[in-house]
Amino acid sequence: MHIHSTCSDGSFTPREIVELARIKGLKAIAIADHDTVEGVAEAVAAGEESGIEVVPAVELSIENEHEKDFFELHLLGYLIDHQDRELNDILNRIVQARIEQKIRQIKVLQDDGIDVPVEEVFSLVRGVPGRPHIAKVVMRRNPGRFASQKELFAEYLTVGGKAYAKRSFSLTLAEAIRVIVKAGGVPVLAHPGAYDKVKDIEAVIRRAQEIGLQGLEIAYTYNKNRPHYGIAPTEMQAVMARFRAVADELGLVKTGGSDFHGEGKDIEVGEMGMSCVEFQELKARSSFAVPPDQS
Ligand code: AMP
Ligand code: ZN
Ligand code: FE
Ligand code: FE
């Protein structure tokens, strides 16, 4: 219930993802690209052909708010009306700001003597450009310059890095929650255990609930994603148990997702999914989803 396609920084098209899900025998998946719903229609159509329910979703990158301890948060919006006018207008503005931001970031790298042509980065982009697109070209064109993509991010692309750049337009958490709810969707905080820049994540979750957050992503491929790459299964269970307890205490819905991006990460579609009961609870919160008795 949390998959990226070629419309953001994933390596499979929406149609290919539905086919992977069919082969795995999954009942439902969600396409949740970064700041775009461009892949949703293709996936829904493919899903109808192969009998897989495709949940329209999006993963919004949220503006940092230092005084609230909100750093690099990702908000999932599930069961949205992906044709909602206001949502689409806002996403278009975000994409424009991302394009302009990525060009600025590339220029900083170029000024430091790194070979990274703007056109080559954008040739990898079907919808929304992200730092991974830049990283791919840098790693390919500058062998030996960085020991790994991790070093490249640490030196240049992460918050505070030499080529880190703020976007001229992005949504605060409150604005993002409002837009998702207005589009009929359910706002869910993605991977709460993965925010290494946040000091007190539980306080952040409470603050977010006060402004309308409705869910928390519990099951997640923490061991295959930053910053917990490679943690042991017991540690991973502990992270998830901690947030399950927070969700239960606060009455937030619990979701699960793979964060599948395709090649490059050893993650499979359908890993860390959610139960039918949890899915029904999510649907009950959406004003756009087909009611459970009709689905
Ligand atoms: P952007 O959408 O441009 O903000 O880029 C965000 C994406 O960059 C994330 O979804 C990650 O896939 C990747 N990313 C962010 N920080 C790092 C990092 N320190 N190391 C590797 N990948 C990262
Ligand atoms: Zn991504
Ligand atoms: Fe994310
Ligand atoms: Fe994601």
Residue type, 220: Y
How far, CA to CA in Å, does 248 sit from each of 96, 111, 278?
Answer: 38, 50, 12
Classify the phi-psi angles of 178: left when phi > 0, otherwise alpha if psi is within -120 to 50, otherwise beta: alpha
Predicted confidence at residue 290, as pLDDT, reads 62
Global pTM reads: 0.94
CA angle 183, 73, 119 (to 5 degrees): 85
Ligand 1 probe mutation, 226, 229, 260, most atoms within 8 A of CB? 226
Q: 84, 117 in Cβ contact below 8 A?
A: no
Residue located nearest, by CA, to atom 16 of ligand 1: 158
* pLDDT tens digit sequence for 101-131: 999 999 999 999 999 999 999 999 988 999 9
178 touches 206 (CB < 8 A): no
CA angle 132, 122, 94 (to 5 degrees): 75
CA angle centred on 285, ends 284 and 289, rounded to 5°: 70
What pLDDT was estimated at residue 295? Answer: 46
Number of helices followed by number of strands (H, E) in the chain: 10, 6
pLDDT at 288: 85
R_g (Cα) of the chain, nearest Å: 18
78, 88 Cβ separation under 8 angstroms: no
Residues of the chain with pLDDT under 50: 294-295
The protein residue with its alpha carbon nearest to ligand 1, atom 1, reads 130
Nearest ligand (C-alpha, residue 129): 1
Which atom of ligand 1 is least distant from the CA of 98?
Answer: 3
Beta strands 28-31; 74-78: pairing state: unpaired
Angle made by CA atoms 56, 60, 64, in degrees to the nearest 5: 165
Q: Where are the alpha helices (DSSP H) in the chain?
A: 14-24, 40-50, 85-111, 118-123, 131-141, 149-152, 173-182, 201-210, 233-250, 276-285
Asked whether 226 lines ligand 1 (CB < 6 A), one says yes
* Confidence at residue 214, expressed as pLDDT on a 0 to 100 scale: 98
Residue 32 buriedness (CB in 10 A; 0-12 / 13-18 / 19+): buried
pLDDT of res. 127: 87
